[in-house]
Amino acid sequence: MTRLRMGMVGGGPGAFIGPVHRIAAELDGEIALVAGVFSSDAGRSRAAAGSYRIDPERAYGSLDEMLAAERARADGIDFVAVVTPNHNHLPSARAALRAGLPVICDKPLTATLAEAHELAAVVAETGLPFAVTHTYSGYPLVREARARVAAGALGIVRKVVVEYPQGWLAGEASGKQAEWRVDPARAGLGGCIGDIGVHAFQLAEFITGLEVTELLADLGAVVPGRRLDDDCTVLLRFANGARGVLLASQIEVGELNGLRIRLYGDRGGLVWRQEQPNTLTLHTLDGRTEVVHAGGPQLGPDAASRTRTPTGHPEGYLEAFANLYRDFAAVLRGEEAPLLPGIATGLRGMAFIATAVEASRARAGWVPLTV
């Protein structure tokens, strides 16, 4: 059983998400990072090879170069991970797919909805595996939550509150991570809504198993001079009529990475928080509260199979991320991984972003959400 060989696009010096993808991909020993276009500057790309401890010969200055060179090797890459800023998702993914390689791509899918549709067409046309790294749906207790809802623990879902507060962009956006996120040329049409709002949206649909059919959006650019939204309120209606609220912000000083979700049905309620990801709280209509622990005996197979340590030994963000790569590896081996977010999820996310941005700009009130 050799490891699957990964080529990365993006993740150069100063990047946060590149090393995260590397760790996540390799965590379970099924994948190895062996090549990359870590920068469009060939010298910088090569320099990055050292920090990733790969052969500098396999650090390329362009995707085309990587695709050609790796194709020529017996041990060439098996798939491509796209971890660039948003505006490069489409060209990178498209090229890799057209070269016959499966792709795992960071979120949001692309910079615009039109690009997303184009990418979806390429995925359909090539028939190759494609995944979007909605990290938070990789947490074991998020999968447990989904399973409990599907099993009827809450009864009919009536209400969803999903929040994603951060504070790191409350001041001036400086540093590599911040700068591209507030720049429409690189981030695309959404600021906060595209960076984190889309995670919240995906989490809500993932856990409920319900699609959002209508929304009302109020996006603001709070920090003076900011050109993209940094504070978002979106009201939701789900396909079954359930009411929802999605809050995302990057100007809430003191909030770290506070993604959390609460769901309520006619028979129960459920709460999960990313910053304390190893507990899930369940409520019943008759007043009982149960705390479910990651790694504990109450977990169903989706959660249990994606946990590596005994209960009480906290797993976190990297392990959740690794669960997506484990799913992706399974798909590459020809197995099923129904919980892995794919092109349809990515497309829904872009539709959400585009619809919210446009509806907010137009002060349009409730609008349908269609892909």
Residues 6+ apart with CB under 8 A from 111: 86, 87, 89, 90, 186, 187, 188, 189
Q: Which of 254, 335, 336, 370 binds its own copies (CB under 8 A)?
A: 254
Taking the complex as a whole, how short is the minimal distance between the CB of residue 243 and its own copies, in angstroms? 5
Is the separation of the CB atoms in 25 and 138 below 8 Å? Answer: no
- Please identify which residue in 44, 46, 117, 159 interacts with its own copies, judged by CB under 8 A: 159
Taking CB under 8 A as the rule, does residue 28 contact its own copies?
Answer: yes
Q: Closest CB to its own copies among 22 and 94?
A: 22
In angstroms, give the least distance from the CB of 8 to its own copies: 13
- Count of chain residues binding its own copies (CB under 8 A): 92
Per rule CB under 8 A, is residue 154 in the interface with its own copies? yes
Contact by Cβ (8 Å): 237, 152: no
**Binding mask 194-223 vs its own copies (x if CB under 8 A, - otherwise)?**
----------------------x-x-x-x-
CB nearer to its own copies: give 179 or 275. 275
Q: Give the list of residues 6+ apart from residue 85 with CB closer than 8 angstroms, or none.
A: 10, 180, 186, 187
CB of 48 to its own copies, least distance (A): 12
- Residues 90-129 close enough to bind its own copies by CB under 8 A: none
Instruction: Please report how close the Cβ of residue 229 comes to its own copies at its closest, in angstroms.
Output: 11
Give the whole-angstrom CA distance, residue 287 versus residue 297. 23
What residues are paired with 271 via a beta bridge? 262, 281
Between CA 250 and CA 232 the distance in angstroms is 9
Judged by beta carbon, residue 48 or residue 337, the one nearer its own copies is 48
Q: How far is the CB of 224 from its own copies (least distance, A)?
A: 9
Instruction: Check binding of 370 to its own copies (CB under 8 A).
Output: no
Q: Specify the residue for token string 């484990």.
A: 326
Cβ closest to its own copies, residue 264 vs residue 325: 264
Q: Which of 50, 152, 301, 368 binds its own copies (CB under 8 A)?
A: 50
Interface segment toward its own copies; rule CB under 8 A; list 50-58, 143-151, 196-204, 338-346: 50-58
Q: Is 319 in the site for its own copies (CB under 8 A)?
A: yes
Q: Is 362 in the site for its own copies (CB under 8 A)?
A: no
Does the protein bind its own copies through residue 256 (CB under 8 A)?
Answer: yes
* 280-309 binders of its own copies (CB under 8 A): 281-293, 295-298, 308-309
Question: Which 3 state secondary structure label does DSSP give 20?
Answer: helix
Cβ proximity to its own copies: between 39 and 274 the closer is 274
Nearest partner of 104 among 371, 274, 305, 323, judged by Cα: 323
Angstrom distances, CA of residue 22 to CA of 7, 104, 131, 264, 314? 10, 12, 16, 37, 20
Q: Are strands 231-238 and 268-273 parallel, antiparallel or unpaired?
A: unpaired
Residue 225 interacts with its own copies (CB under 8 A)? no
* 210, HSE (Cβ side, Cα atoms, 13 Å): 23
- Per-residue DSSP letters for 22-80? HHHHHTTSSEEEEEEE--SSHHHHHHHHHHHT--GGGB-SSHHHHHHHHHTSTT--SEE
Interface stretch with its own copies, choices 107-115, 119-127, 204-212, 361-369 (CB under 8 A): 361-369
Query: Residue 199 CA to chain centroid, in angstroms?
Result: 6
Nearer to its own copies, 116 or 329 (CB): 329
Instruction: State in angstroms the smallest separation of the CB of 244 from its own copies.
Output: 9
Gap between the Cα atoms of 283 and 292, Å rounded:
11
Q: How far is the CB of 247 from its own copies (least distance, A)?
A: 6
